Amino acid sequence: MRAFTAIVNPAAGGASASCLIPLARLLRDAGAEVDVEYSRGMEHAAGAARAAAGADRVVLGVGGDGLVGCVGGALAGTDAVFGIVPAGRGNDFARQLGVPSDPERLAPLLLEGEPRAVDAIDANGTAVLGSVYAGVDAVANDNANRTRLLRGSAAYYVGALRAIASWRHADYLITVDGERHRREGYTVVAANSGYYGFGKHIAPDARVDDGLLDVVLIRKAPRTLFFAVMRELEAGTHVRRPEVEVLRGREVRIELAGGSGRTLPYGADGELPGVLPVTARVMPGALRVLAP
């Protein structure tokens, strides 16, 4: 019988409790041991994950993509077993893996499922799970994180509107496995998972176990066309447009070309670790996760 340590993001509030309380009851009723650790921040969450894994416990990330990416990233490259309890606004990595949010369906997976090896991303020395992105989406991410009156996809949509309204096309230099590409446009996404930004299917052909990153570029276009692309993101049909380019590789460097002095943030799993440049390298099969 497995022993679990659930690392919870308190900022997720009621969502975490509504997911974890019935799930923990089901796990304990089955004979499993469940401890709960409340995160005091990302660094603390990562340390708690490594400590629990060192005690041969299954580590559960309870929250959204930021907490899940932090905890899962801390375990990447180890023999630890990781489980996801989707309890955030986006839950994009759980969506990609097909991890259910319903406790009645999730509990048997955590109790009896076999760990599945999936890829992770090394982003400037930090392991993350879903994607690394730089452009109007990272600016929208920042706007959404600052929004207090709206939640979930509504916060991201309003944040995106604000980002697009003030956007100046960036001059990118993207190097994929040593091949350089200079593009002007809205964003560059190096995707391990196909989903980001609260359910947007940015890289519909991405797989978490193929040892590759799908690099999606949305090139320069009128704002009206970009809004059309946004509407198509949920279904993933945007990749059919000529303004959208998809590359694939194992190592991707994203930077700004020229000497304009402009800075641009990059995002990773819903967090904003820093500004360009960023190098994303795939970590094949680095994480053992309980997923269908």
CATH number, position 206: 2.60.200.40
Looking at the structure, do residues 87 and 152 belong to the same domain, yes or no?
no
CA atoms of 116 and 114, how far apart (whole Å): 6
Q: Is residue 10 part of a domain?
A: yes
* DSSP calls for the chain: --EEEEEE-GGGTHHHHHHHHHHHHHHHHTT-EEEEEE-SSHHHHHHHHHHHHHTTPEEEEEESHHHHHHHHHHHTTSS-EEEEEE-SS--HHHHHHT---SHHHHHHHHHHPPEEEEEEEEETTEEESSEEEEEHHHHHHHHHHH-SS--HHHHHHHHHHHHHHT---EEEEEEETTEEEEEEEEEEEEESSS-BTTTB-S-TT--TTSS-EEEEEEES--HHHHHHHHHHTTTTGGGGSTTEEEEEESEEEEEE-SS-----EEEETTEEEEES-EEEEEEEEEEEEE--
Among the three residues 63, 78, 113, which one is the final residue of a domain in this structure?
A: 113
Q: What pTM did the predictor assign?
A: 0.92
pLDDT of residue 152: 59
Phi, psi of 73 (to 5 degrees): -65, -35
Looking at the structure, do residues 176 and 238 belong to the same domain, yes or no?
yes
Residue 174 vs residues 93, 100, 217, 278: alpha-carbon distances, Å: 24, 35, 10, 10
The whole-chain average pLDDT of the chain stands at 92
Q: Identify which has the larger pLDDT, 121 or 64.
A: 121
pLDDT bucket at 98, cuts 50 / 70 / 90: very high
Among the three residues 113, 144, 172, which one is the final residue of a domain in this structure?
A: 113
Q: Is residue 233 part of a domain?
A: yes
Q: What is the mean pLDDT of residues 281-288?
A: 98
Give the domain CATH number at 44: 3.40.50.10330
Say if residue 236's pLDDT is above 60. Answer: yes
Contacts of residue 111, defined as CB under 8 A and 6 or more positions apart, other chains included, come to 1, 2, 27, 30, 32
Which residues constitute the domain of residue 196? 131-284
Q: Is residue 135 part of a domain?
A: yes
Q: Is residue 212 part of a domain?
A: yes
pLDDT bucket at 149, cuts 50 / 70 / 90: low
Q: What percent of the chain has pLDDT over 70?
A: 95
Looking at the structure, do residues 107 and 240 belong to the same domain, yes or no?
no
Say if residue 13's pLDDT is above 70. Answer: no
Q: Identify which has the larger pLDDT, 228 or 291.
A: 291
Looking at the structure, do residues 139 and 101 belong to the same domain, yes or no?
no
220 contacts 185 by C-beta, under 8 angstroms: yes
pLDDT bucket at 88, cuts 50 / 70 / 90: confident
What value does the CA radius of gyration of the chain take, rounded to a whole number of Å?
19
N-to-C CA span, the chain: 19
Q: Is residue 125 part of a domain?
A: no
Domain count, the chain: 2
Q: What is the mean pLDDT of residues 181-197?
A: 95
What is the token pair recorded at 62?
């309870």
pLDDT of residue 21: 93
Nearest Cα to 202, choosing from 236, 151, 170, 173? 236
Q: What percent of the chain has pLDDT over 90?
A: 76
